[in-house]
Amino acid sequence: MAGDPASARLSTTLCGIPLKNPVLAASGTFAYGVEFEKILDLNRLGGFVVKGLSREPMDGNAPPRVWEATAGMMNSIGLQNIGVRAFVADKLPALAKLNTAVFANVFGYAIDDYAEVVRVLEDHAGLAGYELNVSCPNTKHGGIYFSNDPALLGDLVACVKRIAKRPVLVKLSPNVARIEPLALAAEAAGADAISLVNTFISLAIDVRMRRPRLGAGFGGLSGPAIKPIALRLVYEAARAVKIPVVGLGGIRSGEDAAEFLIAGASAVEVGTASFWDPASALRIAGELDEVLKNEKIGSVRDLVGTLKFGEKACN
C-alpha cells in the first residue's frame, strides 16, 4: 500500500526550491500541467515540468508519432508546442495559482532562441525554474548538438544564466560517449542542477512495409527498458559534479525512484509511466514513502548518494 506523497519523510529541496516530495512529472509527458487538474490534485505533486517551449509555435513531426516498444515507448513528437507567448497568456496564469513547483522546459535551435524564451518567461510569475532541453542541433553551428559539445553547451548555459533570475536545470542527453564532460561543462557555466537522461535515439521497422514505424524515421526510446543505463549515467554524473542531479529514465515505482536517489539523484522525474497512469507521479511518491518507512529512513535526503560498491551482501 502506498504511503503519503506529502509525508515529512519526503520533504526536500531542489536548488533552494521547497518540494513536498522529490518526485516530479517530466516534460513532454504532462502537457502544460493544467490538463491534468481533473485527474489528480496538482498541489500534492512534488512538482512538474511543462512540455518544451520554443520561441514560436511548432506543429511537430508527421504521424505516426508514437510506437510501443518492448518494455518501453518510442516517440517522435517533434517538440510540438504553442510557443512561449501563448503559454504565458493561456497556461501560466492558472499554473501561478498552484502550490507546487512548476518548471518550464525550454529549447531552441540557436542560443538566441533559448535566451528569448527565458526573457519572455522572466517577466511573468508562476514558475520555480527552468529546464533547458539541450538535445537539439544548433543550426548556426552546422547542426552540432548542444548536448554533444561541452564548449557549445557551456556557451548556452552561460547565456541563459545571465538572463535568468530563477534556477536553471540542464537536461542532458544519453546519446554521448561520456556524460561527465557535459555535466562538468554545465556546472562550470553556472547551471544550478542537471537532469538526465533524455531519450535514446532509436529505430523501429515495419518488416512488411520495410519502412520506419514512426513518421519521422528515428525516435526517442523511453520507459523501463532504459532504466539500467539511465541509472549508470546518473551515478557517473552525480560523482562528477557538486550541483544537484535530477534522475529520470524508466521510473514506474517507488523502488525505481529510490534506486535513482541511491545512485546520487536529489530528485527524480516520472515520464513514460504517466501515459498509462496519469497519476503515476503521486503513486510513486507514496510508494517511495513506504520504502523509507520500511527501511527506517527518516528523511529522503539521507538516501541520496548511498550506493556502495565492493561490499559483500549480508546473509
Catalytically active residues, by annotation = 136
Residue 86's alpha-carbon distances to 89, 117, 125, 227, in angstroms, are 5, 11, 15, 35
Q: Give how far Cα 235 sits from Cα of 13, 103, 156, 174, Å.
A: 20, 23, 24, 13
**Residue 285 C-alpha from the chain's centroid:** 16
Beta strands per DSSP E along the chain: 12-14, 17-19, 23-25, 47-53, 66-69, 72-75, 101-106, 129-133, 137-138, 144-145, 168-171, 193-196, 200-202, 205-206, 211-212, 219-222, 245-248, 267-270
For residue 60, give the C-alpha cell: 511537430
181 CB contacts (<8 Å, ≥6 apart)? 150
CB atoms within 10 A of CB 59: 9
186 grid coordinates: 554545465
A 10 A CB-CB count for 38 gives 7
**Which 8-state DSSP code applies to residue 20?**
S
Round to whole Å and give the CA distance between 37 and 72: 26
